[in-house]
Chains A and B, each alone.
Chain A
């Protein structure tokens, strides 16, 4: 009974480096979300996929952030030219719901803690 997994769990990057964060959702879950969580704050929505289609990317903070889910399962969040303000925990969540997940609980992964030095 695998849940949502994310890798790496911790990532230290020097300012200006590119990073790639991976999310393996629960098998068969249609919806996949990425969130950014700063210390002491709630998760902030970044982007949403329904299968392989990215239906909402309105929360991505800048064009340095890019997400993909090419085969409708594994997803990758890429951050180019990292900045110190990108330091946060990046959470991935999946849901079996097809209507964007409304009404269906989200299952969260453990997150990737990104520190940009």
Chain B
């Protein structure tokens, strides 16, 4: 079967660093995406990894290990506006994307 696991909820303090983990088991792999989704809004793209290693983009970084079926999203210098759901998604085939259930992040002042 195809499965993506990520924690349901996380809480962190403004200014801190948080790491959101994602493990996956899919029949194919054409890359892993992270999306941010604020309540009641559309998901917006954060990062894409297809090769092993770390991709850094401002306050956000994403890491991928294909051999371990593992990725994480690292958020630095947390701000209140970072409170949202973070979705891990795998392009498991040419057209099909498998999304995780999302991790709801609460940033506390």
Chain A bound to chain B: yes
**A residues apposed to B, CB below 8 Å:** 4, 33, 35, 40-45, 48, 50, 55-56, 58-59, 91, 99-103, 105-111
A108 proximity list for chain B (CB < 8 A): 35, 42-44
From known contacts A48-B96, A102-B30, infer whether A42 and B42 are also in contact, taking CB-CB under 8 Å. Answer: no
Interface centre among B31, B99, B100 (most CB of A within 10 A): B99
Contact of B94 among A35, A59, A100, A105 (CB under 8 A): A100
Interface centre among A44, A50, A58, A103 (most CB of B within 10 A): A103
Across chains A and B, the number of contacting residue pairs, with CB separation under 8 Å, is 68
From known contacts A33-B97, A40-B101, A45-B97, infer whether A107 and B45 are also in contact, taking CB-CB under 8 Å. Answer: yes
Contact of A102 among B87, B94, B101 (CB under 8 A): B94
B42 proximity list for chain A (CB < 8 A): 4, 91, 108-111
Interface of A is mostly: loop
8 contacts between A and B (CB under 8 A): A41-B102, A42-B89, A43-B99, A100-B94, A102-B95, A103-B50, A105-B48, A108-B43
A79 to B93, CA, bound (A): 26
Report yes or no: B48 in contact with A100, Cβ–Cβ below 8 A: no
Report yes or no: A48 in contact with B95, Cβ–Cβ below 8 A: yes
What residue in chain B is nearest A3 (Cβ atoms)?
B42
Contact of A101 among B43, B87, B95 (CB under 8 A): B95
What residue in chain A is nearest B96 (Cβ atoms)?
A45
A35 to B99, CA, bound (A): 10
From known contacts A42-B100, A42-B101, infer whether A106 and B95 are also in contact, taking CB-CB under 8 Å. Answer: no
From known contacts A91-B42, A102-B31, A105-B33, infer whether A44 and B99 are also in contact, taking CB-CB under 8 Å. Answer: yes
Report yes or no: B30 in contact with A103, Cβ–Cβ below 8 A: yes
What residue in chain B is nearest A113 (Cβ atoms)?
B40
A48 to B44, CA, bound (A): 19
